[in-house]
Amino acid sequence: MTIRMLPPHLINQIAAGEVIERPASVVKEIVENALDAGSTDILIELRDSGKSFISIKDNGAGMSAAQLPLAVIRHATSKIPDNDLFKISSLGFRGEALASIGAIARLSLHSRQHNQEHGWCLCVHGGELMPMTPSMQLKDQGTCVEVADLFYATPARLKFMKSNAAEMTATMEVIHRLALSAPHVSFKVIAQDKVMLNAVKESLEHRVTSVLGKNFGENALPIFFENDVMTLKGFVTVPTYNHSQSTQQFFFVNERPVKDKLLYSALKIAYQDYIPHGRHGACCLFLTLPSEWVDMNVHPAKVEVRFQQPQTVRDLMYSVVKGSLKAPHTSTSTHLGEAAVAYFEKTLPHSSPSFSSPNMSFSGHATLPINEGPIHGTSGRNHRVSAHAPTHFYSSWKNSNSSSNVAKIMPMALGEDPVSTATVTLDLEQNVGFLGIPKAQLFESYIITQGENDFFIVDQHAAAERLTYEQLKLARENQEITVQPLLIPEILALPIHEQALLLGVREELSHLGVEIDTFGKDLVVRSVPTLLKNVNISEMMHDILEDLRHGDYSTRVEEKLLEKLSRIACHGSIRFGRALSMPEMSALLRQMEAFPLSAQCNHGRPSFIKLSRTDLSKLFERA
Ligand code: ADP
Ligand code: MG
């Protein structure tokens, strides 16, 4: 066996394996360079999703004839001031992207600086440097990087490339992240002569919409937090706007797009209470902190970072996002209302002459009593529906129902778990909120309510379920958690290092009602919260361990408790198909207004859909 130094081209190819995985990685590295060079306009062109050709043109500072050959040498960079790895404010710093790309593809660099008569061009093909030539390709300062025949010099890599569609998706995702990180820069992307993205210089708010679409923008809640050292700003979406994947979650640390486990998990925990298991909220969040607090150099592609104080970052992310989700915002995802209107528009014949019957029916199902609900019926007066303040309607309704000014609603009929037996008493004098007053109940399941300029269709079961859940949660927060000592303690036979992990969070577990203790050479669970007495304890403890092994503080106990609470809530709530009296409906609405997050049930389905007067005018072609 002989040990020998590898030839430089092989070293570059090996290193390229880490940095350049697919066309998306090429695009990422070159766009990062363009941003680092201070560009304000970036044009990206792709052929075969970048497999056969990528061109990226910027209007940044450019490179001089003397610098160009250095740019393609490994470990040559202009970006680490004072040779201090913890003072990096640029996206690049490893000095290996261009060298790597040159090693595995045909790379051409055209670059021109301000006030130069012409630019220069340098080509590297499969690691071989060509002589530099003058270039007229650029009219002004900037750089144009062209990459042809990716991986032609390392054909084995070609086999790992996916379909054009899959590569394009990956590339667009990279571009989206970078475009979100720099709204002050215009981005245009052309693939196979089709414009894939055309974002002008704009505010972050507009950029979010340009890149992630109108739906994201309309359902976004702004986030802003600032203290002496850190800021967190951006947007998270309302809980009813959720997805099966976390692909709509965008994080930036000091303006660098990152995919960081800690940030994902903090977000997940912040949302956990508001969206169903396995669904994901969407976000675009920018964290800024002193550069010494974060190590960017933990991943060749620089997408992971390491925080000096992970707990501080996690707590900040969690509390700020949760605070915003918890705020009594009252909307469900806007696309729901739009979808409803679109549905009716489709279903209703456009200019049907046959609307002679006073009882119009939608798609053959329902007969809608228009304007003459039981409210008005009792007094015999005929209230015209018009744009008065809802309180006005409310008082006229109240007068006509003088028999019961106080409505009682039993939000839950608890089975096995006596968490709370509170009866909520509601005084009908209380102010009518945004949900307005109930007008009718349909199919003994849906409540139609009218506000000032909007009307709502409320899913009574979904709404009641959420309310019950919120009330149970409140009860849990206010009372001490009731703890159930186990008659036969659960023995956990675990290796010593795993026992140590659990013992390390003993105090936190005990706060949640889970008492653990050593027992000989094993660990035992002595008590659990009463609510969890029927869960598989050993399974839960192993789940907790799994989380701890991955470095995340476990939220299992919390999760299990909430899961349990929501199940009870679901069973104990007003069912579908139950006739409700007007006071009951009204009480339900007033409670919904009082509780944040009533816009959805615990399974993340909306509990009401909002439609406007304008929607109605549109439907009847009055607009
Ligand atoms: P890094 O970005 O880590 O420094 P790269 O291999 O990506 O390493 O680039 C090497 C150097 O080439 C950069 O440090 C920069 O000085 C120069 N460079 C690359 N692309 C551009 C560009 N688009 N505009 C100006 N300079 C560039
Ligand atoms: Mg770079």
DSSP annotation string for 192-243: TTEEEEEE-S--HHHHHHHHH-HHHHHTEEEEEEE-SS-EEEEEEE-TTS-B
Residue bearing the bigger pLDDT, 430 or 503: 503
Ligand 1 atom with least separation from CA of 58: 23
Ligand 1 atom with least separation from CA of 61: 25
Ligand 1 lined by 58 (C-beta under 6 Å): yes
Of 183-187, 227-231, 237-241, 294-298, the range with the highest mean pLDDT is 183-187
- Which residue in 285, 224, 226 sits closest to 260, CA to CA? 285
Residue 71 CA to ligand 1 centre (angstroms): 6
**What are the DSSP calls for 82-101, one per residue?**
GG-TT---SS--SS-HHHHH
Helix 261-271 crosses helix 310-326 at what angle (to 10 degrees)?
30
Q: Which two tokens stand for residue 378?
A: 């009792």
Strand locations in 477-520, DSSP E?
483-492, 515-519
Rounded to 5 degrees, what are φ and ψ at 115? 65, 10
Ligand 1 lined by 559 (C-beta under 6 Å): no
Residue 156 CA to ligand 1 centre (angstroms): 27
Ligand (nearest to CA of 145): 1
Residue 97 CA to ligand 2 centre (angstroms): 5
Q: Are 135 and 120 in contact (CB under 8 A)?
A: yes
Alpha-carbon dihedral sign for residues 317, 318, 320, 322: positive
Residues 572 and 568: their CA atoms lie apart, in Å, by 6
- Please write the tens of the pLDDT for every residue from 339-367: 676 766 655 444 333 322 222 222 222 22
CA-to-CA dists, residue 29 to 16, 436, 446, 612, angstroms: 12, 54, 54, 47
Residue bearing the bigger pLDDT, 55 or 496: 55
The predicted structure's pLDDT at residue 1: 83
Ligand 1 lined by 77 (C-beta under 6 Å): yes
Residues 397 and 491: their CA atoms lie apart, in Å, by 62
Segment (H or E) for 559:
helix 556-572
For the sheet with 446-450, list strands across it. Answer: 437-442, 446-450, 454-459, 608-612
Residue 110 CA to ligand 1 centre (angstroms): 12
- Please write the tens of the pLDDT for every residue from 228-237: 999 999 999 9
Phi/psi-derived region of residue 464, left when phi > 0, alpha when psi is between -120 and 50, beta in every other case? alpha
- Please write the tens of the pLDDT for every residue from 551-562: 655 566 676 667
Give mean pLDDT, residues 113-127.
Answer: 95
Residues 16 and 227: their CA atoms lie apart, in Å, by 40
Residue 30 CA to ligand 2 centre (angstroms): 6
- Please write the tens of the pLDDT for every residue from 242-251: 887 888 899 9
Alpha-carbon dihedral sign for residues 613, 618, 621, 623: positive
Match 């660098």 to its residue by tokens: 256
Give mean pLDDT, residues 470-483.
Answer: 71
Residues 395 and 410: their CA atoms lie apart, in Å, by 24
Tell me the whole-structure pTM to 2 decimals: 0.67
Q: Are 297 and 93 in contact (CB under 8 A)?
A: yes
Give mean pLDDT, residues 603-622.
Answer: 81
Judged by DSSP in three states, 155 sits in helix
Angle value at C-alpha 222, between 221 and 225, nearest 5 degrees: 135
Residue bearing the bigger pLDDT, 385 or 518: 518
Judged by DSSP in three states, 436 sits in coil
- Please write the tens of the pLDDT for every residue from 304-338: 899 999 989 998 999 999 888 877 654 566 666 67
Ligand 1 lined by 70 (C-beta under 6 Å): no
